[in-house]
Amino acid sequence: MIGLVGKKVGMTRIFTEDGVSIPSNRNRS
């Protein structure tokens, strides 16, 4: 499940519980 969503420089990144940041363009594996 998504931990929290943070907005970076012009790009929205999703942070997983693992603390890994991935582009919103990609879904959790």
Strands 21-23 and 12-16: antiparallel
**Buried-state track 1-29, b at ≥16 Cβ within 10 A, e below 16:** eeeeeeeeeeeebbeeeeeeeeeeeeeee
Taking only the tens place, the pLDDT of each residue in 1-29 is: 455 555 554 455 555 666 666 565 555 55
| pTM tops 0.75 | no
